[in-house]
Amino acid sequence: MFTWKLLALLSFSFWVSLTAAQEKKLLSIGAEHYPPYEMKEPINGLKGFDYDVVMEAFTLLGYPANVQFLPWKRVVQYSKLGKVAGMLSCSYRPEREEYVIYSNPISESVRGFYVRKGFDGPLPILLEDVRNERVASVSGYGTIKELESNGFEPIAAKDTKMAVSMLIRKRFDYLYLSQQGTDFAIQELGVSDQLDFHPISKKDYFLCFSKNYEGVKPIVEAFNAALLVLKLNGTYQAIHAKYK
């Protein structure tokens, strides 16, 4: 009897065989420095879990690939023009459907509030739960824009590490940020045992392939098949475990 795992492996084999006869030119992926998803320079020997997953998937498929680090606006422009095969890491926006094909989800971003351990204020489940509290985020981040668009007047920190330090020093009581990047900074600061996290929302990240990149459709399907294989054989989980 066929299982879904066997079907997945057969699908992967099909896409590998389909692309085997193609000339596999170097695939350039556009990205911005965005720890811990992808980093221009290694941090503690790590290049980013999305970076690692994507490179491992293309290695499975026999595609040479590299990640080109650029300002995000240029990454988007290059994708529109087909100058890069795709954008990493890319969130869903309806307007992007005009020029990209979304891969299957490669990772996620969880937004929520950090508080000091033992803090006895309201337990946040929704943004509204802390409307009248001392709330902060990082200047320029989507999290601070979200707070402002919901009527908050958040304290703005210069960067994530400064925001974490300010929270510990009781400059405010709730720090609203994305968990993956903030946890990475907290780990570097060595203060993981001083903070708790309360999730509020979640979104997926993708490898967004350029519709204008020549021969992109079979590459997308092959990548999705390889991504599934990485999840089935434990490679995906092993990559993410290195960043915890």
4-20 vs 216-232: helix axis angle to the nearest 10? 140
Phi, psi for 55 (deg, rounded to 5): -65, -40
Q: Each residue of 131-181: pLDDT tens digit?
A: 999 999 999 888 999 999 999 999 999 999 999 999 999 999 999 999 999
Domain ranges of the chain: 4-107+203-241, 110-202
> 0.75 cut: is pTM over it?
yes
Which residue's structure tokens are 């020029």?
A: 99
For the domain made up of 110-202, the CATH class stated in words is alpha beta
> Domain 4-107+203-241 - what CATH class?
alpha beta
The DSSP call for residue 141 is: S
Fold match between 4-107+203-241 and 110-202? yes
- pLDDT tens-digit readout, 54-98: 999 999 888 899 999 999 999 999 999 999 999 999 999 899 999
**Encoded tokens for 216:** 């992109």
